[in-house]
């Protein structure tokens, strides 16, 4: 996910693997493994920002969020901004059960609907 995203952006801008690695001051052999999904992506926010800068990805853009989220997901982590919202964290077990095809209870659905209404001002 992360590696594919980075490689796609890098290639579309005409940046070779070696040039990309030179700009980031990382080993090309190791970075190639990141792009192929054999090594976990960096988690350091500063390094992710450097990558975004090389790829001309504005911070806080949708592409920036995709870069950061895919780095977390490939490392098996839940993004920090998700973990900082206690209501979302409390709803995660229900979400995990739902995506595993375990039906949530009516009470759990009502709690989730209330969270969505509060956070997004949407009518359900």
Of 98, 99, 118, nearest in space to 108 by CA: 98
Contact 58, 64 (CB under 8 A): yes
Q: How far is CA 46 from the centre of its chain?
A: 15
pTM, entire model: 0.72
Question: What does the pLDDT look like over 84-107, one tens digit per residue?
Answer: 888 888 888 877 877 787 677 788
Label each residue of 46-74 as H, E or C: HHHHHHHHHCCCCCCCHHHHHHHHHHHHH
Question: What does the pLDDT look like over 60-69, one tens digit per residue?
Answer: 999 999 999 9
């Amino acid at each position: 996910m992360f590696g594919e995203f980075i490689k796609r952006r890098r290639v579309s801008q005409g940046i070779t693997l070696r040039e990309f690695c030179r700009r980031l001051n990382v080993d090309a052999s190791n970075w190639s493994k990141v792009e192929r999904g054999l090594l976990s992506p960096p988690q350091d926010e500063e390094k992710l920002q450097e990558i975004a800068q090389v790829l001309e990805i504005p911070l806080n853009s949708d592409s920036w969020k995709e870069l950061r989220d895919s780095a977390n997901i490939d490392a098996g982590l839940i993004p920090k901004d998700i973990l900082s919202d206690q209501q979302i964290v409390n709803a995660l077990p229900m979400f995990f059960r739902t995506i595993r095809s375990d039906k949530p209870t009516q009470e759990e659905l009502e709690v989730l609907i209330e969270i969505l209404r509060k956070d997004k001002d949407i009518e359900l």
